[in-house]
Amino acid sequence: MDMFVKVVRDNYTNFEGRARRNEYWMFTLVAVIINIGTFVLDSKFFPGVNLLSNLFSLAILLPGFAVGARRLHDIGKSGWWQLLWLVPILGWVALLIMLATDSGIGNNEYGTSEKYPDENDSDEDFFLNEEE
């Protein structure tokens, strides 16, 4: 829940910088859970009209695109790669693979990596959450 609040409160329309996998996927998980809750409330209080779910979806549209762009920046890709959502099946699979890819090592054109801040870091350096 903290990541969802962080994205919505602190980075509502921030398309710059990098977002780690945890930030992106926790935001997505909480958004899906809240959206399911709004569907339930809509069916109870507003049958036939998806008022709450549509309002919630509209409210998190920009933060969703922003955290997606920052997530792609973390692996060295442009945020415009999110347009792959428009390509059925193949685009979805390709984008899901990119969104699930581990952070890039060191700096890239979008900023410094929080996970691997040094250029000489590698995945093996952090096996089983061990620090250098």
Q: Where are the domains of the chain?
A: 2-129
Please give the full DSSP string across 89-110, using - where no structure is assigned.
THHHHHHHHHHHSPPPSSEETT
Per-residue confidence (pLDDT) for residue 106, from 0 to 100: 82
Q: What is the mean pLDDT of each run of 10 residues along the chain (132 residues)?
A: 86 91 94 96 91 95 95 94 95 95 87 75 56 49
Using the 8-state DSSP alphabet, how is residue 111 labeled?
E
Per-residue confidence (pLDDT) for residue 104, from 0 to 100: 84
Per-residue confidence (pLDDT) for residue 24, from 0 to 100: 94
Per-residue confidence (pLDDT) for residue 36, from 0 to 100: 96
Q: Under 8 Å CB-to-CB from 62, ≥6 apart: which residues?
A: 12, 13
Per-residue confidence (pLDDT) for residue 129, from 0 to 100: 57
Is the pTM higher than 0.85? The answer reads: no
Segments of the chain assigned E as strands: 107-108, 111-112
